[in-house]
Amino acid sequence: MYIYADESGHSGRHIFNKPPFYFQGAIISENDTEPLLQEVATKYRVELGVERLHANEIRPHIIERIASAFLILLDETNWIFHITAIEKPYLSITKFVDSLFDSYENKGARWLWYNHEFFRHTLCCLFDDLLLKEDKKNFWLSYLADDFDGICKIVKTVLQRLQQIQLDKRLYQVSCEGLEFALKYPEEITLMASRTKKLYKGHTPNMVAFSSLIQAAHKFCAEYKTTPEAFIHDPQSEFGPTMKEYHEIFAKIRAEHSECGLQLNFENTDYDLGKFSLTPSKQLASLQAVDLFLWLSQRSGRIKSQGLRKKLMEVSDPFYISRSSSEMIRTGWAFKMSNMDLSKEDIKGGEETIAEMEDVHKKRVKEFELTKIKGDI
């Protein structure tokens, strides 16, 4: 298996700068795509008089023609076009929920609301509505600086706004109790983004997308029973070393959501993800193909050939982080749950389970606070 990856959209720690979206694309293929694409790439480079095929330097109708030729050639192997699209400012909201509602640290946060994607994305949508643009910026800066005092100011503002709106009673309770616990016991919340000069990188769109690419590669390996040979990314001056580290750390760790929507399950694989290298796109036709596919995926409305758009979508494996994707996840689960064929016994059993979970939660909080009181005496 071979992986060729590139990115589009400036990012790093500056998630509120334009453009608002960050994209990473990758050809993941059972066989090496370089021999397949090299001849066509060379033909068009000569015809256009350029060193490499770069979408921003080529007229749209020419991009479509080249991309169509690439797609035809890629039909000769099993492959996918993995794409990660991240709404950069929305990362501030996901980190707000991740850091303040992690039920393993915040005893006031409900386990189910952090570990099930329906409830977690419900919290994301709520706080995306409650936090103003400046709040999100200030939280992000405080988060990267491990400044919990700065985070507390924003949490207090959010608690005030929660009291001023009409909200589902359970959502209100879960949100308030989680935030109030974080304010009361800030020492329980772990912040690590500034402990070394490079730790912040793991929280940026660049590395979030790279992590999703690693898991897409593992998924491809499992589906096609193939062994990775090479993992090639266009050079990154800021993130290249961190990508190499991530590749080493997660090369044998596969993560996936359970069907019931709970947090990721992890398992060790008996293979790694091949040799990792950073190679300039002008040297590889496959990276140039990724660049053209990324351009097309961002401009679907401007593609004249609907057949090309359909073909690209058919081979695409997308992963999104955005407000709209959170809403889609919530809607999907709401539809799924509303169409479940549940008996009266099932409903009763569910109510009993929820009551038991609430009792366990309250007992956990009470025991924690008693321990704190004894420690202060």
366 falls within a domain: yes
User: Which tens digits make up the pLDDT trace of 25-73?
Assistant: 999 999 999 999 999 999 999 999 999 999 999 998 999 999 999 999 9
Least confident of 124-133, 195-204, 293-302: 293-302
Quote the CA–CA distance of 218 and 307 in Å, as a whole number: 30
Q: Is residue 136 part of a domain?
A: no
Measured CA to CA, the distance from residue 108 to residue 236 in angstroms comes to 40
Q: Residue 73 is encoded by which pair of tokens?
A: 């050639």
Shared-domain flag, residues 299 and 367: no
Q: Give the separation between CA 297 and CA 359, rounded to whole angstroms.
A: 48
Q: Is residue 331 part of a domain?
A: no
The answer as to whether 172 is a domain residue is no
Q: Indicate the pLDDT class of residue 265, thresholds 50, 70 and 90.
A: confident
* Residue 195 to residue 38: CA distance in whole angstroms: 44
**C-alpha to C-alpha distance for 188 and 234, rounded to whole angstroms:** 40
Within this chain, do residues 370 and 304 fall inside the same structural domain, yes or no? Answer: no
Q: Is the domain of 273 the same as that of 359?
A: no
| Mean predicted confidence (pLDDT) in 234-262 | 85
| Distance from C-alpha of 50 to C-alpha of 63, rounded to nearest angstrom | 14
Is residue 301's pLDDT more than 70?
A: no
Confidence band for 330, pLDDT divided at 50, 70 and 90:
very high
Mean pLDDT of 134-149: 96
What's the average model confidence in pLDDT over 318-343?
Answer: 93
Relative to beta strand 316-321, strand 79-87 is parallel
- pLDDT at residue 91 in the model: 97
Do 235 and 284 belong together in one domain? yes
**Mean pLDDT value of segment 210-225:** 94
| pLDDT for residue 136 | 98
Looking at the structure, do residues 351 and 321 belong to the same domain, yes or no?
A: no
Confidence of residue 295 (pLDDT cuts 50, 70, 90): very high
How many structural domains are present in the chain? 2
Give CA–CA dist 139/155, Å, rounded.
9
Residue 69 and residue 27 share a domain: yes
Q: Output the CA torsion 48→52→55→60 (10° steps).
A: 20
Residue 305 lies in a domain: yes
128 pLDDT more than 70: yes
Mean pLDDT of all residues belonging to the chain: 92
Residue 326 has pLDDT above 80, yes or no: yes
pLDDT of the residue at 337:
85
User: Does a structural domain hold residue 108?
Assistant: no
Check whether residue 303 and residue 368 sit in a common domain: no
* Residue 145: pLDDT over 80: yes
The answer to whether residue 151 is domain-embedded is no
Model confidence pLDDT, tens digit, residues 160-190: 999 999 999 999 999 999 999 999 999 999 9
Indicate whether 17 and 78 sit together in one domain: yes
pLDDT at 118 over 60: yes
Judge whether 89 and 15 are in contact, CB under 8 Å: yes
In this structure, the answer to whether residues 316 and 352 fall within a common structural domain is no
The residue range of the domain holding 315 is: 2-83+229-326
Is the pLDDT reported for residue 264 higher than 80?
no
The model's confidence at residue 302, banded by pLDDT at 50, 70 and 90, is low
The token pair at 26 is: 């990758």
Q: What percent of the chain has pLDDT over 70?
A: 96
Whether residue 271 is found in the same domain as residue 319: yes
Q: 300 pLDDT band (50/70/90 cuts)?
A: low
Are the C-beta atoms of 36 and 73 separated by less than 8 Å? yes
- pLDDT for the residue 310: 86
**Would residue 244 count as lying in a domain?**
yes
Both 30 and 77 in one domain: the answer is yes
Whether residues 280 and 252 share a domain: the answer is: yes
Which of 113, 77, 183 minimizes the C-alpha distance to 357? 113
Q: What percent of the chain has pLDDT over 90?
A: 76
